[in-house]
């Protein structure tokens, strides 16, 4: 496991004190890479005060204007989710997710997304994730403070540092790098445009088709070569559709 390849990403954090609390939780467990997507107040004295001796984590934090900017270069993304979604996604608890992240971090960029304090991550943001992470809590009081949630995940990652080596996954010795988030998003746009051209997808009544296709490809995980092959197929398909309609090549 390479902790330096794992980034904690906070999306639209509303209270600067929570950012400081997250920085402290991260430093406690040896994680250093903090990304802040459109924080409402940062930098801020409250963040510095809550961070205590983790001010260096705040100083090194990367502030971005969008989620895409924060994770486009990542190959494996985990999104925290506190509730069930209309379309089920692969869902694991923090310990199971940490084991997966540990393996992928050996040679990939890994991101863990934490959403807004009041409503978490949106469905669109969660669709960009390979896995969803859920922290089980008591039904009597299920609300977790943002820093507490980050602490749980970072703790599970820390515990794996001194644990026996995890068994290699089937893709550990893969012959090509896995596709980045940025390239996968370009693929989804290309795929949707092609399906519309084929009249397989009706933009007026999409019926969750793209969401289900996203779930499929997130579960399979494409490498860059496979992605290029599929993009080539889509390009040629659109050319044939154009010819069939008399639009030329």
Q: Please name the residues in contact with 90: beta carbons below 8 A apart, sequence gap of 6 or more.
A: 130, 131, 132, 218, 219
Residues 39, 103: one domain? yes
Q: Please name the residues in contact with 136: beta carbons below 8 A apart, sequence gap of 6 or more.
A: 93
Token readout for 19 is 């950012």
Please report, for the chain, how many H helices and E strands are present, in that order: 10, 7
Residues 85, 195: one domain? no
Domains in the chain, number: 2
Token readout for 231 is 């993009």
pLDDT bucket at 7, cuts 50 / 70 / 90: very high
Domain that holds residue 226: 181-244
In the chain, what's the furthest Cα-to-Cα distance? Answer: 67
Quick one: pLDDT at residue 171?
A: 63
Quick one: pLDDT at residue 170?
A: 60
Report DSSP state, residue 116: B
Q: What does the CA dihedral 82, 149, 182, 168 come to, rounded to 10 degrees?
A: -100
pLDDT tens profile 69-106: 999 999 999 999 876 556 677 789 999 999 999 999 99
Quick one: pLDDT at residue 89?
A: 74
Residues 46, 141: one domain? yes
The residue among 161, 189, 213 that closes a domain is 161
Residues 114, 198: one domain? no
Nearest-5° Cα angle at 247, 244 to 249: 85
CB of 107 closer than 8 Å to CB of 72? no
Quick one: pLDDT at residue 172?
A: 61
The residue among 111, 129, 161 that closes a domain is 161
- Residue 113 pLDDT exceeds 90: yes
pLDDT tens profile 181-215: 999 999 999 999 999 999 999 999 888 899 999 98
pLDDT tens profile 20-54: 999 999 999 999 999 999 999 999 999 999 999 99
Q: What is the C-alpha separation between 194 and 199, in angstroms, rounded?
A: 9
pLDDT tens profile 145-187: 999 999 999 999 999 987 665 555 666 667 788 999 999 999 9
Q: Within a 10 A sphere around the Cβ of 240, how many other Cβ atoms?
A: 12
Quick one: pLDDT at residue 201?
A: 94
What is each CA distance from 141 to 117, 120, 138, 150, in whole angstroms?
A: 15, 17, 6, 18
State pTM to two decimals.
0.82
Report the CATH number that the domain containing residue 9 is assigned in CATH.
Answer: 3.40.1280.10
Q: Is residue 167 domain-resident?
A: no
């Amino acid at each position: 496991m390479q902790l330096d390849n794992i980034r904690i990403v906070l999306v639209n954090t509303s209270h600067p004190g929570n950012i400081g609390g997250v920085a402290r939780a991260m430093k406690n467990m040896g994680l250093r890479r903090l990304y802040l997507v459109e924080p409402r107040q940062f930098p801020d004295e409250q963040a510095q005060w809550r961070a205590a001796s983790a001010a260096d984590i705040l100083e090194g934090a990367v502030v971005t204007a969008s989620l895409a900017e924060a994770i486009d270069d990542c190959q494996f993304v985990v999104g925290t989710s506190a509730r069930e979604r209309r379309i089920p996604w692969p869902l694991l608890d923090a310990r199971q997710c940490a084991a997966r992240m540990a393996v992928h971090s050996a040679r990939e960029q890994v991101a863990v997304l934490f959403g807004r304090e009041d409503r978490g991550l949106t469905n669109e943001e969660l669709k960009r994730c390979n896995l969803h992470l859920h922290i089980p809590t008591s039904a009597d009081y299920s609300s977790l403070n943002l820093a507490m949630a980050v602490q749980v995940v970072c703790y599970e990652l820390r515990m794996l540092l001194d644990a026996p080596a995890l068994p290699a996954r089937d893709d550990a010795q893969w012959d090509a790098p896995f596709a980045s988030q940025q390239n996968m998003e370009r693929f989804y746009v290309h795929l949707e445009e092609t399906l519309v051209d084929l009249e397989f997808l009706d933009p007026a009544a999409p019926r969750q088709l793209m969401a289900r296709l996203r779930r499929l490809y997130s579960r399979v995980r494409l490498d860059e070569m496979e992605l290029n092959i599929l993009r080539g197929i889509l390009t040629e398909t659109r050319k044939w559709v154009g010819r069939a309609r008399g639009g030329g090549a």
